[in-house]
Amino acid sequence: MSIRYGQFCPISKAAEVLGERWTILIVRELLLGTSRYSDFQRALSRLSPTLLTKRLQQLVDIGLVVKSTPAGQARAEYHLTPAGRELQPVVLSLGQWGMKWARGQMGEDELDVQMLMYDLCRRIDVTALPSDRAVIGFTFAHLPKFAHWWIVLEPKRERELCVDNPGKPVDLQIRTGVRTLAEIWAGDTEIRTARKDGRLHATGDPRMIRTLSAWLRPGQLAHIRPAAKPLSV
């Protein structure tokens, strides 16, 4: 790591490990189960491949992450070591603090649709769906790039997030704006409210529409409300 504070204080040493740009977000993804390079790219779409490779290697070198290629697979995976897993309460507390004190208004440059869709995909509660097999389409109005997404859910298979049409019948189609869906993810807007005021439209399987709020879960920290006077960030 290139950051050096020149102090023996354990807080300064921890900051040297985690203080590099993007490092804490890579650790966040590892804690949430991201393990493949391509998935890191989607969850952290504004991180260049060169820097992502560098940061992952740095985490491997210091012993927070182990890189391995599972038998029968061509692609390597990254997983936290015991030292890395012990960061879970640290990162969770940081996120809770951020939701309460450092939220502010979402700027247009912060509405990262790739990160949003990646997290919503993994947050879907398949046990609340009327069927364990479904294709869900998303269309974002006025978005010049990545305006169409599909989530494919099949029993005993990994859920698949697609930006190219998977060629399967769509059971539910959701049309909305990135800001609206980001506000739902953050817990600032309820799905029923967005539907009522016309910011979110859902067509298709009536059972999936009725249970939409149950299975399309918001972000992990959406239950935390902002402070009365959050910081200016």
**CATH code of the domain occupying 108-215:** 3.30.1050.10
208-227 pLDDT, tens digit each: 999 999 999 999 999 999 99
Report the pLDDT value the prediction gives residue 71, as an integer from 0 to 100: 86
Report the pLDDT value the prediction gives residue 1, as an integer from 0 to 100: 59
Q: How far from chain centre, in Å, is Cα 58?
A: 22
Averaged over 57-69, what is the pLDDT? 96
Does residue 106 surpass a pLDDT of 90?
Answer: no
**CATH code of the domain occupying 10-101:** 1.10.10.10
CB 81 within 8 A of CB 63: yes
Could you tell me the residue ranges of all domains in the chain? Answer: 10-101, 108-215
Confidence of residue 232 (pLDDT cuts 50, 70, 90): confident
Does residue 103 surpass a pLDDT of 90?
Answer: no
Averaged over 56-68, what is the pLDDT? 96
